[in-house]
Structures are given as C-alpha cells and as structure tokens.
Chain A
Amino acid sequence: MEIMNGRLNNGGNLNLVFDIYPLSNYYFSSKPGVSSKEETLGDRARRLKSNYDVHGMRTYVEAVILVELFKHPHLLLLQAKNCIYKLPGGRLRPGESDVDGLKRKLSTKLSADETQCQWEVVGECIGTWWKSDFETLPFPYLPSSGNNPKECTKLYLVKLPSSRDFVVPKNLKLLAVPMCQLHESRKTYGPIISGIPQLLSRFAINMVGS
C-alpha cells in the first residue's frame, strides 16, 4: 500500500469522514415513558388511511447514530417491547422539514427535554425506503406500477459530540448493536436496519480512541 502525505484538494471528500467516540463516553438515564394507546390492526389501518386521504404520504425520518466499542462501529437502536427494533426518529408533521422533524424526534426519544440538546445532522439523506401500501414491506425504490407510495422513510446520519447524556423513555431500551451483527441478521432487524452497513460503506468512520 502506498503511503502518501498530501493536501486534500477535493473539499467534497471531507463530508465522507466522520468521527465516532467510545460508548463509555456517553451517559444514559431514563425518563417517564409515553406508551402509545393500544389499537387493533384494523383500527390502525383505518387511521392511517384517513390520514393519507387528508395529508398524503406519511414520511418518517430516522437517525443513524454510531458509537465505538471493541474497535468496531455500533449502531444505536431503540427496542420497544421484546422484539421491535427502531431507529431513533419518527413521523414528520405536515409541512415540517426533514431536519427539523428529525431533531424534534431525537430530542423526544433521546434527551431530557426538547430544547436542551443540539443534534448535528450530517449531509443529505443516506437512504430512502418506500411502502406502496401500509401493510407491505418497504422497498428502496418507488413502486414501478406508478401508484403513489403511502409511506416513505428517510435515513440521516447524525454526528455525536465526544460526550453526551442520553435520557430515554422508560418504555424503550437503548441498545448499541455492532455493524457486523446488523449485516447478518435481517430477520431480526428487518431490511432497513440490517441494510445500514451497506449504506455506510462509502464513509470513512474514524474511531477516536478511548
């Protein structure tokens, strides 16, 4: 391998490098949880459909947040109940921008109150998934049949400072899952989360030493 010292002339490349810090740099505590009301699948389907008729496609924004552990990047995931894993994030309000909505959701899910934390969203969306119907699986391309998609999920990379307090609602567990495990466990995490290592492959993840 050639080792060269040199000046980086393509400024655009710098967007591809980001630093991640050891898990031990971060502090975790909990706050009271807001449990969502129990509704049957049928009720949920009806609610989503009437929402769609009024507001159009539902857009979710979700954050890809990484920490370092055992010299390998780990993704922060929220576990609800026993086997539902989610990325931190949630649904956009009508008219809300992606970044504003994401920051709002991150503050709700991961910090003590909405105004306290600053969140740094890096660059543009790193991946998009669409659902042609509410009950179908998501796909990384628009439905080719020309039907308008009902739901869209957009992933953004979020950079952490070297240290931070995370405050998580009691009804959720915050996990740090190694990238190598995500890559091998599509059945556990679903296509969106297990596909994140492939979406991140083009970045240079710099693990800042502990």
Chain B
Amino acid sequence: MVTSAVVNTYPLSSYTFGTKEPKMEKDTSVADRLARMKVNYMKEGMRTSVEGILLVQEHNHPHILLLQIGNTFCKLPGGRLKPGENGILLYFFDSYGTMFCISNHVALFNSAEIEGLKRKLSSKLAANSTGLQPDWQIGECVAIWWRPNFETIMYPYCPPHITKPKECKKLFLVHLSEREYFAVPKNLKLLAVPLFELYDNRYGPVISTIPQQLSRFQFNMIHS
C-alpha cells in the first residue's frame, strides 16, 4: 500500500481505452439487489466492499474515473470481497505485547483487502490477457461507509445502537502510473468527471463527498 500525501495525476490522453465482453449487473432493480444482499448476509455475514478512486487531470483539475451503467447510474470500480478476503482484526498487540481492541476495528484494513481491490479493478478495467494487467498501486483508504439495514442508506459512521451493520464499504485512492491500458466492459461507459462536478451533485452521498476526502492531498498535475 502506498501512503503518500502527494498524488501524481496524468492527462486523460496519457491512457488508452479498449473494450471487452460485457459485465452485466447481477440485479435488475434496487429491490432485487437488497434482497440478494439479505440472502448473502444470512450465509456469510456482513458484506465488505472495496472501491477504487482513480484520478486523471484535465485543464489542471483532478477528474475521477466512474463507470456509467445505462443512462444515469454511476459507480466507482470495485465490488464485494469474497468471504475470507476480509480478515478483520478485532484484537491486536502493540509493540509492548499489550492487547487492546477497538470498536471500529474494520478501519484497520489489511493486505487481503488490498489484493481483493486489485482483483476487482482488473475485473472491471483490465484487459483479459495476462500480459496487459496494470500493476495497481493501491493508496490510502479515504472513506468508510456503513449500511445499518437492508436499505439504500449508508452513513460515514456506524450509527449508535447498530451492532450488526449489513455492509461496510471502503474507498481507496489508486495511484495510476503514466501509461495504462484499460479495457472497459461493452455495457459500461467510463467517464472522467471533474471534482467540481462531483461535489454536492447528483452522484449520491458516497461519490459526492469524495472531493472533501481528497482535499488533504496535494495533486501534482503532470502534463504530457
């Protein structure tokens, strides 16, 4: 994992985009999606999802890469981790051998989640041939959202009195290198949306607050 307060962003033109076979959504409606989430919860417990924030620059302003489904719905590349890919530490030992536990333990992510995110990014954005896989550099976690019930609402904290959240979603910064080849599934469109358009707009609470969560980083706008 890369911890750095400086993010290099390259122009959109520095990247090449191709297509690959469609990746259809598993659910056709919000109700279906929540119902399937409930079934999975009964089998596997809390869902952990990981999503990547990939940045490019245009006109000296950072842009985020979003996948558009259909005409309106946009999401970040990422997805659900498999059970076991989210080894959650509830207790750990500091260097003095003292054990302590933290209530919001899921904030301590580990390499299994990082590997899971790389898997998801490749699934959504990389070409199928092994020779063209990007070397994903996963950066810091910038946000964690919690779903208390089988509903669409998520919060940036686990609400009080909720002991069994249904989903935990973590957003990670991804440091792109200067040149990459992305293969986008045929049924999706890849958009580069400027931060000023995301802020406070129609992309939903998780995506709309990304500009604030990125505001602590220094963007190094590199021109070709």
Q: Which of A's residues lie within 8 Å of B, judged by CB?
A: 1-8, 10, 12-14, 16-17, 70-73, 124-129, 139-141, 144, 146, 179-180, 183, 191, 195, 197-207
Separation of A207 and B86 alpha carbons in the complex (Å): 24
Please tell me if the beta carbons of A183 and B155 are within 8 angstroms of each other in the complex.
yes
CA distance A141 to B61 in the complex (A): 9
Judge whether B71 is part of the interface by a CB distance below 8 angstroms.
no
How far apart are B137's CB and chain A's nearest CB, in angstroms?
Answer: 15
The answer to whether B108 touches A13 (Cβ under 8 A) is yes
Q: List 7 A-B contacts (CB under 8 A).
A: A4-B87, A4-B91, A6-B89, A144-B60, A197-B156, A198-B209, A201-B213
B195 contacts partner chain A, Cβ-Cβ < 8 Å: yes
Q: Which residues of B lie under 8 Å from residue A200 when comparing CB positions?
A: 156-157
Residues of B within 8 A of A139 (CB): 196, 199, 211
Q: Kindly state the interface size class of chain B when it binds its partner.
A: 35 or more
What 0/1 readout, one digit per residue, does chain B (106-128) give for beta carbons within 8 Å of chain A? 11111000000000000000000
Residues of B within 8 A of A207 (CB): 103
Of B12-20, B32-40, B141-149, the one with at least 4 CB within 8 A of chain A: B141-149
Contact A144 B107 (CB under 8 A): no
Contact across chains for A4 and B90 when beta carbons are under 8 A apart: yes
- The residue in chain A whose Cβ has the minimal distance to the Cβ of B107 is A204
CB distance from B211 to the nearest CB of A (A): 5
**CA A198 – CA B208 in complex, angstroms?**
11
Q: B212, A124: Cβ atoms under 8 Å? A: no
Closest 10 CB pairs of A and B: A204-B107, A201-B156, A140-B215, A72-B160, A144-B61, A140-B212, A204-B104, A8-B92, A198-B209, A128-B215
Identity of the chain B residue whose Cβ is nearest the Cβ of A141 in the assembled complex: B195
Determine whether B179 belongs to the interface, using a CB cutoff of 8 Å to chain A: no
> A residues within 8 A CB of B60?
144, 146
Additional A-B contact list (10), CB under 8 Å, known A6-B89, A207-B103: A1-B45, A127-B216, A139-B211, A141-B196, A141-B214, A144-B59, A197-B155, A198-B213, A205-B103, A206-B102
In contact, A202 and B107 (Cβ under 8 angstroms)? yes
| B88 and A206 contacting across the interface, CB-CB below 8 Å | no
- For residues 169 through 224 of chain B, which have their beta carbon under 8 Å from a beta carbon of chain A? 194-196, 199-200, 209, 211-216
Q: Which residues of B contact A73 (CB under 8 A)?
A: 157
Question: Is the Cβ of B46 less than 8 Å from the Cβ of A1?
Answer: yes
A157 to B6, CA, bound (A): 19
Report chain A residues within 8 Å CB of B88: 1-4
Whether B212 pairs with A201 at a CB distance below 8 angstroms is no
Tell me how far the C-beta of B34 lies from the nearest C-beta in chain A, rounded to whole angstroms: 20
- Which listed residue (B140, B196, B200) contacts A144, Cβ 8 A? B196
Beta-carbon contact of B160 and A202 below 8 Å: no
CA distance A17 to B102 in the complex (A): 8
Contacts of A1 in B (CB 8 A): 45-46, 88
Given the known inter-chain contacts A10-B1, A125-B216, please indicate yes or no for A2 contacting B87, CB distance below 8 A.
Answer: yes
Q: Are A16 and B89 in contact (CB under 8 A)?
A: no
Residue of A whose beta carbon sits closest to that of B1: A10
